[in-house]
Structure 1
Amino acid sequence: MDFVEYPDRDLLILGLADRLTADLAEALRLNDRVSFSVPGGTTPGPVFDVMSEQALDWDRVAVVLNDERWVPEDNPRSNTGLIRKRLLVSKASAATLIPLYAAAEQPEDRLEDLAGGLAPHLPLSVLLLGMGADMHTASLFPGADNLAAALADDAPPLMAMRAEGAGEPRITLTAPVLKAAMTIHILITGADKRAALERAASLPLAEAPVRCVLGQAMVHWAE
């Protein structure tokens, strides 16, 4: 793990946006098409605001979420809705969004279809993850119903996930997909997240799922 500490959050936003843009540009130099996997939530929003204005060949970039709540796009809790507003605008509006939600009562009802849409874009070229204070990443929550299967080396690319405190059912990229990404970045802020990251290194994987990528990741942090 590489750990990058920034003097403040403004510099973190600019520094991380620059690094992700550079990684995508390098991937585009080497490949006809590339994939960029991103988290939901509010923390990465300012990074996406900066990236959306960058002069990349966005029409050759496929964007896929790390995970999604099983809610329609117009729901305020939809990660897809957030990404459309914060990343897939301006220059980056030319990118292609790979869906992790489809109209159905439960994620299992459309899991096969969604996995089929994801498959051509693997392995991921550039991966940006977040991490919760409980040391979850994507929707790999400690105590989740399908966590052990999603962390296994033979896990399918996508799995449904339910966990106490997670709210709605989720759909998530699994550990093999995350670990296979060409470049991996993790964005965290605040003293509690830094302390959680430090604890994760000495905990079992089931208690700290973020550990599945820590060995290959560059962590970006500011207070």
Structure 2
Amino acid sequence: MEFHTYPDRDMMMLRVSQRIAAELGETLRSADRATLSVPGGTTPGPVFDTLSGADLDWSRVAVMLNDERWVPEDNPRSNTALLRRRLLTGRAAEATLVPLYARTPAPEDALDALSDGIRPHLPISVLLLGMGADMHTASLFPGADKLAQAMAPDAPPLMALRAEAAGEPRITLTLPVLRAALRVHVLITGAEKRAALEHARKLPPEQAPIAAMLDHAQVHWAE
């Protein structure tokens, strides 16, 4: 793990967006396509705002979420809607959105089709993760009903999980897909999450799922 501390959040968001743009550019210079996977929630929003204007051939970039709440895009908790508003705009509007949601009653009903959609875009070229104060990442929540299966070496690329802390049912990239990413960044803010990250390093991944990603991650933190 490499830990990067920034003087303030604005500087961190700018530097992380620049790093991601540079890494996507490196990928596109040596490969036909690149895949970027990002978290939902409000924390990475400023990264998206800057990244959307990056001078890249976005038509060759696929963008997918780490995970999604099982809600339609007109729901204010939809990560897909947030992604469309803040990242897939400006120059980045030319990127291909790889969906992690379909209009089915339950995520299990769409798993096969959504999995087929992401496989051509693996491995992930650049992965940006967040982390909750409970040490979850993506929708790999401690205590989730199928956490062990989602973290197993033979896990399918996508799984549906349910956890008390998650609220809605979730669909998430599984640990083998996350760990296969070529470049990994973790974005956290505040003293509580820094303390949680340090605690996670002392725990097994089933108790602190983020711990499974830290050995080859760049961690970015600002107060």
Shorter-chain-normalised TM-score: which range?
over 0.9
Two-structure CA RMSD over aligned residues (Å): 0.5
1:19 matched residue in structure 2? 19
Question: How many residues matched?
Answer: 223
For the 8 Å contact 2:141–2:165, the answer to whether it is kept is: no
Counterparts of 2:212 and 2:57, CA distance in 1: 31
2:39 matched residue in structure 1? 39
Counterparts of 1:204 and 1:13, CA distance in 2: 29
2:92 matched residue in structure 1? 92
Counterparts of 2:40 and 2:205, CA distance in 1: 23
Deviation of the 1:27 alpha carbon: 0.7
Unaligned runs of 5+ in 1: none
Instruction: Give the TM-score normalised by structure 1.
Output: 0.99
1:143 matched residue in structure 2? 143
1:113 matched residue in structure 2? 113
Deviation of the 1:14 alpha carbon: 0.8
Counterparts of 1:128 and 1:13, CA distance in 2: 12
Deviation of the 1:17 alpha carbon: 0.7
Counterparts of 2:139 and 2:182, CA distance in 1: 20
The aligned amino acid for 2:75 is: N
| Equivalent position SS for 1:210 | helix
The aligned amino acid for 1:75 is: N
| Equivalent position SS for 2:29 | helix
Unaligned runs of 5+ in 2: none
Deviation of the 1:21 alpha carbon: 0.5
| Equivalent position SS for 1:73 | coil
Counterparts of 2:103 and 2:9, CA distance in 1: 37
Counterparts of 2:204 and 2:177, CA distance in 1: 20
Counterparts of 2:165 and 2:194, CA distance in 1: 21
Deviation of the 1:212 alpha carbon: 1.2
Counterparts of 2:116 and 2:212, CA distance in 1: 24
**Large movers: runs of 4+ above 3 Å:** none
Counterparts of 2:25 and 2:146, CA distance in 1: 35
The aligned amino acid for 1:34 is: A
Mapped pair 1:203 → 2:208: no
Superposition pairs of residues 44-55 of structure 1, within 5 angstroms: 44-55=44-55
Counterparts of 1:105 and 1:74, CA distance in 2: 15
1:74 matched residue in structure 2? 74
2:216 matched residue in structure 1? 216
Deviation of the 1:165 alpha carbon: 1.9
| Equivalent position SS for 1:100 | coil
**How big is each residue's C-alpha offset from its partner over 1:37-94, in whole Å with a ceiling of 9 and x where there is no partner?**
0000000000100000111000000000000000001110000000000000000000
| Equivalent position SS for 2:28 | helix
Superposition pairs of residues 119-130 of structure 1, within 5 angstroms: 119-130=119-130
Instruction: Give the TM-score normalised by structure 2.
Output: 0.99
Identity, % of aligned pairs? 67
